[in-house]
Amino acid sequence: MAALAEGNSVAKKGENVSVDKMLQRFIELSLTQHEAVLYLETRPYNRAYLEIKGLAEELEARPGDQRHALIELFDHDNPQVRLNAAKHAHPHYPDKAIQIVQSIIDARTLPQEVYAKDVLSFLMYGPRFGRR
């Protein structure tokens, strides 16, 4: 839960946070990323990325791997929220996650379309560079 203790997170270290609150924070951080991409602001994007990653890791560490709760965000209005949710829920919903990412690409939803192409490649084929 160390990642949740950073910045404006939903919990302090050792505090148990509900999955619903974690999902709300996931949405807030994804929206921060969306705005950061629009204004070419790297720092806020990267800070949000690290916290989203921490939330996904915390969900995974919970009994029963709670990343399946991210499916609730697959229908969110914002493409960055959908993209992040699909990326992190992929182990539970691989076909649906790929479909969500493909829909962002097909809709030509900029700026997420560009990143979605990389995410789609990763979800379908795994990491291709630097590993043998």
pLDDT in tens, 63-95: 999 999 999 999 999 999 999 999 999 999 999
Residue whose C-alpha is closest to residue 29's, from 100, 90, 80: 80
State pTM to two decimals. 0.84
Q: What is the DSSP letter of 40?
A: T
Residue whose C-alpha is closest to residue 49's, from 83, 73, 74: 83
| Domain segments of the chain as ranges | 2-125
Range 2-125: architecture per CATH: Alpha Horseshoe (1.25)
